[in-house]
Structure 1
């Protein structure tokens, strides 16, 4: 009987439910491991499924990957595995593009509505038993700049347009008739001054690291709000704190920060115009099932010799197109 492939599954202490991987287990040897055992589990393995996609263990164990041909990330972002040795290898990298698009778009719209309607202020008044009539802002007719035109950025653009917002995109290539963004620009500093809301969802690459620096925040409107659902490292955190503290921008909703987790005592915790969530904007009930399903579908493609879904361009650091 021909031996099946060896699949290593990196998890963070809680492996995928065996029922979810049962179909794969009958065709492959599956090794479940935490970070401490990754090197041993990689020896002679054909496939690595990074189920714990926030782990930074892969580079340190890479020396043991003597037969690996495919690495699948359980997330959209692949920056934790874009280290030089992997990028220079023949190992194919895929991601879980598509699973988190809609929930992250819903999170972005929710944060924008929370800013415009000052929902936190209403909750404060309720807790103090204070009936105080106020007016709020409209969302319809405002301008949003979505920085990052991948599948999540497109889902964000579609939902914001449905709420009546004017949306533009920022990407690598200029486009004038994009179906989701309408117009896509390439010059961040040219796009920022007209935006009421700026949404960061670009992949983390050497080109995008710290792209939101002091100059970027200075180019934004004083009433503009910044929403980051990409990576904390897209932002110069000290520059963001100064911009918020000085009133250079009006507020920020941060699902990702740098450093992460945010240390106790960091000034971002206590700024009144900041909303922080613990990197969970895409984590809807059932997301773990969805990422396993995305991997097992790709495993079916791999075993059948068909092209894999969501192949990452290792030079770009994301799935193109």
Structure 2
């Protein structure tokens, strides 16, 4: 028995799975009933926070798969401490998010947001732009998405370093990886700071007033990780006071971003609605990843993308 949390939008291409299992599709309200007697849960609605509140009804669940790379919506104590296997959809969004990051880096360097404003105003205003080649970028988060970002930025001529749990040299994608504990002492060396770290107790709020104050005044901040990595009020202050030159934000601590939020009115900010990884066909690809793991689970073979529930992400090497 498979429970699928999907809300109003059913996942596509479920035919092969439906032919081999009894499936209960459900929204958040019906999740407790769908979980009773279910052996596995597919969290297709990966933005939902309903699983912890319904978990009391999960009397047989042995495997949970979430249709995203981030697993924070299902990292509640009861699941973390259980022997239920948790897998994610690592690998689906790597290249797409990397392309987004390269796009906003170029947009900042070439002042494209201002060009669009001037175009709407029908104003001819010549300006000089920046080069991206030779600029330094720090990618905070050294998982597969961070590595894809590093490779693409390096191909564009940027000098890229990484930041992760521990410091090391000789990394094939980052060269030098700095320890996250040293964020405030290292971040001032970089022109672009890209946040893509998983959300854990250690990373929550890591970009705070101290981090922004330590950045270059000309630095740009990009967040494609989780909104909760950032103390948003501190970011707003840093942007207003010129502590940093700009920000590109695809994720927020509250989504959708409220219409009266100050981020909407800041001229040095690019906002997108949590779409940096969403290429045409991404929903089908998410189901393909789950279908592969479902076949493995049904056949008793090892699952892919098994999350270390103490770390909160899939360890390197899987």
C-alpha distance in structure 2 between counterparts of 1:42 and 1:240, whole Å: 40
Among 236, 249, 253, the residue aligned to 1:241: 236
Question: Out of 16, 25, 31, which is 1:23 matched to?
Answer: 16
**Match for residue 183 of structure 2 among 188, 209, 213:** 188
Paired residue total: 314
Structure 1 ranges of 4+ moved more than 4 A: none
Please name the residue that 1:207 is paired with.
Answer: 202
Give 3-state SS (helix, strand or coil) of 2:30's partner.
Answer: helix
What is aligned with 1:156?
149
The whole-number CA distance in structure 2 between the counterparts of 1:67 and 1:10 is 16
Deviation at 1:12, TM superposition (A): 2.2
Deviates more, 1:120-129 or 1:81-90: 120-129
Displacement of 1:35 after TM fit? 0.7
Selected match of 1:266 from 261, 271, 282: 261
How far off is 1:300 after superposition? 1.0
Residue 319 of structure 1: aligned partner:
314
1:308, 1:76 → 2: CA distance? 15
Look up the match of 2:285: 290
- Say whether residues 1:219 and 2:214 are aligned partners: yes
Q: Distance in 2 between matches of 1:34 and 1:320?
A: 31
Paired residue secondary structure (1:155): helix
Distance 1:209 1:148 in 2: 13
TM-superposed deviation, 1:265: 1.2
Q: How far is 1:131 from its partner?
A: 2.1
Q: Deviation digits for residues 213-232 of structure 1, max 9, x if unmatched?
A: 10000110000000000111
Secondary structure of the corresponding residue to residue 138 of structure 2: strand
Q: CA deviation at 1:289?
A: 0.1
Aligned partners of 1:14 and 1:22: how far apart in 2? 15
C-alpha displacement of 1:122:
1.1
Gaps of 5+ in 2: none
Q: Secondary structure at the match of 2:161?
A: strand
Whether the 8 Å CA contact 1:254–1:277 is kept in 2: the answer is: yes
Alpha-carbon distance between aligned partners in 2 of 1:82 and 1:63, rounded to the nearest angstrom: 15
Deviation at 1:132, TM superposition (A): 2.3
Distance 1:237 1:119 in 2: 24
Which digits, 9 at most, give the CA deviation of each residue in 1:204-251, with x for residues without a partner? 000000000100001100000000001110001111011000000000
TM-score using structure 2 length? 0.97
The one of 47, 50, 68 aligned to 1:54: 47
The whole-number CA distance in structure 2 between the counterparts of 1:23 and 1:124 is: 49
Q: 1:264 Cα shift?
A: 1.8
In 2, are the aligned partners of 1:145 and 1:191 still within 8 Å (CA)?
Answer: no
Any residues of structure 2 matched to 1:39-188 within 5 Å, and which? 39-186=32-179, 187-188=182-183
What TM-score do the two structures reach when normalised by structure 1?
A: 0.96
SS at match of 1:35: coil
Q: Which residue of 2 aligns with 1:3?
A: none
Q: Structure 1: any 5+ residue segments left out of the alignment?
A: 1-5
SS at match of 1:275: strand
Q: Which residue of 2 aligns with 1:302?
A: 297
What is the root-mean-square deviation of aligned Cα atoms in Å?
0.8
Alignment deviations for residues 190-210 of structure 1 (CA, whole Å, 9 cap, x no partner) = 320111000000000000000
